Amino acid sequence: NQLIGCLFATKIFKSYAEHEESDRAEYEELAGEFEGIAIRLINKFYQDNPAASFLLLTRTIPEYGNNTCLQIAHLANDKNFISQRCVQELLERLWYGNLSKEFGFFKMAISLAMPFVVPFEFFYRGRVNKNYFKEINGQEKVAEKKCEEKNFVINRIDINNLKEPKDYLSRLYNFFQAPIVKFLYDKIIYMFFLTLFCYVILCDFYAIEFAQQSPTSHSLNISAIEIVLIIWVFSFLIERIHYFYVIESKIFWTKCKLFILNLLNAMYAIAIILFIVGIALRFIPNRPDCHKASRIILSLDVIFWFLNFLHVYTSVKVMGPKLIMMMKMVYELIYFIFIVLAFLMAFGISYHALNYHNIRPSLDLVKNFFLPSFFIIPQEYYTVDSLLEADTCEVNKTDRVLTDEYSLDDCVDKEGSQVALALYTIYTVFISVLMVNLLIAIFSNTIDEIQKESDKVWKFQRYSLIYEYFHKPILIPPLVVFYPLGYIIKYLAPLVRRCWQPEHDSTKLIDRLMVKFFYRFRNGFKSNLADARLERRLVDWENKMFHQYLTDQNLEEHRRIEQRLQENLDKYDFLIQKFDSILVHTNTAYSKIREINDKIENIYIQKYVQTKKNL
C-alpha cells in the first residue's frame, strides 16, 4: 500500500496546512514531496504494466477505509497526480465506457439520433493483452487461467476488454451505459427543457383564473407544459440527491461540504428553490400580486437554469479552464467590491449632502446617493449636468429658500455644487483611472496563474465530470423520476434473496437480476478484485516495483553523489592547475624583479664610482 500511503500523507499535510497558519509553508512542502513520490511511483508502475496500474488505482484497501488511490488523490486535491498519463488513460477508458474512442463527430451524431440501430454495429473497443503480471520474484509468471478469463470491471465498465459482448441487448446496454453518451443525451435534453421554460415564461404563463386561455391547458387550471416542467424540475432534484449519495466521502459532514462547495450544485439548489417558490405563488388564486411575484421569481430563475448549462463546457479542454478563470475572477471581484464600496458610499453621501439639504428619509434617497457614484465606474456621468446648470436653475427656488427643505426634483445648492463639482472630478479620476486599472491588473494576474496550469486544472475538473456521469443512471431527466424505485429494489433485494431460495430456474433468474441490479449501485471507481490470488499477485507486484523504485532512487542518489565528487575533483584539479600557473607567473615575476633590482644596483654602483673619480 505504498502508493495510497503517499497520497494519504499529502491529504494529511494539506489538512494541517489549512488549519496551521504559522507552519503552512512547511506542511505544503511536505505534501508536495509525498505527492512527488506518488507521481514517480505511478509512472514507474505504468511503464512496467499499464493494466495492473489501472487495477492498483481502483483497488479498495481495507486499511484505508476501503478507499482507492483515486479517491484519496481527488479528496487531497492532488492536481499533479490526477494529471498523470496513467490516471488520464484510466479516466479516458471510463469516460468512453466499453465504446471505442476512435470515432468522429458524424458517427457519434448518427449513434445519438438512432441509438437502437447503430451502436451495436461498431464503436466497441478492441481486445487487449490479458497477461497482467510478468517476472515476479525473478521468474516468468502469468495469471492463472481462471484469472485470465475473468473480466475485471468497474461498475459494469470493462477496463481491460477481455470479453466482447455478442448479443444485441448487451451492446445496446454498453452504449447507453457509457458516461460520454449519458453526458451528451443529458445536455441535449437539457436544451429542450430550457426551450420549454422560455416558452412558458414568455408566452404561456396565465394566472390561475385565466388558465383556460392557455393553448395547452386542456381544461386544466395549469398548462400541460407547466406540468411537464414541474416533473422535470422534480427529476433534477432527485438527480442532485443521487449525486449527494454517490459523493466519494463516507463522512456525512464531508459529503455536505463537498456538495456545497461544488458551484454547480449551488446553482441547481438556487434554481430549484426559486422554481418551487415561484410555482407555489403561481397556484394562489385571485391574487394578482402573487401572480406578478411568481412571474418575477421565475424570470430570475431562468437565469440560473441557463448558467447551469455552462457545465457542458467542462468537457472541452479549451473552454474548461475558462470557466475556472471566471469563477476565480468572481471571487476576486467580491473582495474588490468591499474595497470600492467604501469609496462609493463616501462620495455618494458627501456629493448628495453638498447639493441637497434636509431630504426626507426614503428608499429613493438611498438610490439617489448610491447610484450616481456607482455609474461613474462604467463612465456614465448623468448627474454632472445638474452641477453645471446650478447657476441658471430656477425650479422650486422660492419654496426652497423659505423652508430650507429640498426635494430630489429641486435644483442643487449653488454654493455646495461648486465643491461637489471639484469632488466629482477627483472621484472620477480616482475611480476611472486607479481602481478600474487595479481591477484589470487583478484579473490579469488571475488569468496568468490559471493559464500556467490550465492543463492540470482541466484534467482535475474532468475527473469530477467523469465521476458524476459515471454514476448517473441510464434514465435521463425527466425519466429519472422513476430512479427511486431502484433504491427500493436495492434494499429489498437482500431480504427477498434470503426469503426466496433460488431452487428453480425462474428463481435463479430473479436472483441473478437482483444481484446484477444491486451491484450497479456501487459508488466510486472501484474494481471488483474478488479473486484472492489476483489481489495477492497485485500486492506482490506493487511491492516488487516499489523496491525497484527504492533501488533506482538509491542508485540515482549514488550517481548524484559520484557526480558531485567528480565535479569537486574536477574543480580541485582546476584549482591546482590555476595555483601552479600562479606559482609559475609568480616565479617569473620574482625573477624579473631580481633582474631589475640587479640592474638598479649596477647603475647605482657605476654612478657612485663615477662620482668618486670626479672627486
Query: Quick one: what percent of the chain has pLDDT higher than 70?
Result: 75
pLDDT band with cut points at 50, 70 and 90 for residue 192: very high
75 or 397, greater pLDDT: 75
Contact 111, 119 (CB under 8 A): yes
What's residue 215's pLDDT? 65
Question: Which 3 state secondary structure label does DSSP give 312?
Answer: helix
| 446 close to 69: Cβ distance less than 8 angstroms | no
How sure is the predictor about 272, in pLDDT bands with cuts at 50, 70 and 90? Answer: very high
pLDDT at 545: 83
Split at pLDDT 50, 70, 90, the class of 402 is very low
Mean pLDDT of 80-100: 85
Is the model's pLDDT at 386 over the cut of 90? no
pLDDT at position 491? 66
**Which of the four pLDDT bands, split at 50, 70 and 90, describes residue 195?**
very high
Q: Is residue 140 over pLDDT 70?
A: no
Lowest mean pLDDT among 111-120, 130-139, 260-269: 130-139
pLDDT at 27 > cutoff 90 = no
pLDDT: which is higher, 606 or 502: 606
What is residue 154's DSSP assignment? E
What's the pLDDT score for residue 127?
46
Q: Is the pLDDT of residue 382 over 80?
A: no
Whole-number Cα distances in Å, 523 to 86, 161, 246, 480, 528: 21, 21, 6, 18, 12
For range 276-300, the mean pLDDT: 87
Does residue 305 register a pLDDT over 90? yes
Average pLDDT over residues 109-113: 79
CB 388 within 8 A of CB 361: no
Residue 99 pairs in a beta bridge with 124
- Quick one: average pLDDT of 391-407? 50
Q: Could you identify the residue written with the cell 435644483? A: 411
Question: Can you give the pLDDT at residue 460?
Answer: 86
Split at pLDDT 50, 70, 90, the class of 132 is very low
**CA atoms of 480 and 477, how far apart (whole Å):** 5
Which residues fall within 8 angstroms of residue 525, CB to CB, at 6 or more apart? 57, 58, 68, 70, 71, 90, 94, 154, 155, 467, 470
| Lowest model confidence (mean pLDDT) among 166-175, 403-412, 442-451 | 403-412
pLDDT at residue number 138: 38
Cβ within 8 Å of residue 342, ≥6 positions away = none
CA 491 – CA 430 distance, rounded (Å): 65
Length of the chain: 615
Distance CA 275, CA 306 (A): 13
DSSP β-ladder status, 157-158 and 153-154:
antiparallel
Q: What pLDDT score does 118 carry? A: 65
Q: Which of 12-26, 200-214, 409-423, 474-488 has the highest mean pLDDT?
A: 12-26
Q: What is the mean pLDDT of residues 176-201?
A: 89
Q: What is the mean pLDDT of residues 402-416?
A: 57
Tens of pLDDT, residues 40-54: 888 888 888 888 888
Please say whether the beta carbons of 129 and 155 come within 8 A.
no
* Mean pLDDT (the chain, rounded): 76
Q: What is the pLDDT of residue 193?
A: 92
More confident residue, 226 or 503: 226
Helix (H, G, I), strand (E, B) or coil at 279: helix
Is there a contact between 125 and 165 (Cβ–Cβ < 8 Å)?
no
Average pLDDT on 426-431 reads 81
- Is 611 or 158 the better-scoring residue by pLDDT? 611
What band does 128 get if pLDDT is binned at 50, 70 and 90?
very low
Amino acid 158: pLDDT: 56
Q: Which residues touch 377 (CB under 8 Å, ≥6 apart)?
A: 340, 431, 432, 435, 436
Question: Measuring CA to CA, how many Å separate 476 from each of 145, 181, 258, 374?
Answer: 40, 11, 24, 45
Residue 469 near residue 186, CB atoms below 8 Å: yes
Model confidence band, residue 297 (pLDDT cutoffs 50, 70, 90): very high
Q: 161 with 125: CB under 8 angstroms?
A: yes
Q: Which of 446-455, 462-471, 501-510 has the lowest mean pLDDT?
A: 501-510
pLDDT at 136: 36
Contact 216, 227 (CB under 8 A): no
DSSP string, 477-530: TTGGGGTHHHHHHHHHHHHHHHHS---SHHHHHHHHHHHHHHHTT--SS-----
Flag whether pLDDT at 256 surpasses 80: yes
Q: Which of 505 and 341 is assigned the larger pLDDT? A: 341
Decide: 424 and 414 in contact? Cβ < 8 Å: no
529 compared with 188, residue with greater pLDDT: 188
pLDDT at position 147: 39
**Rounded mean pLDDT of 175-188?**
86
How far is 44 from 553, CA to CA, in rounded Å? 12
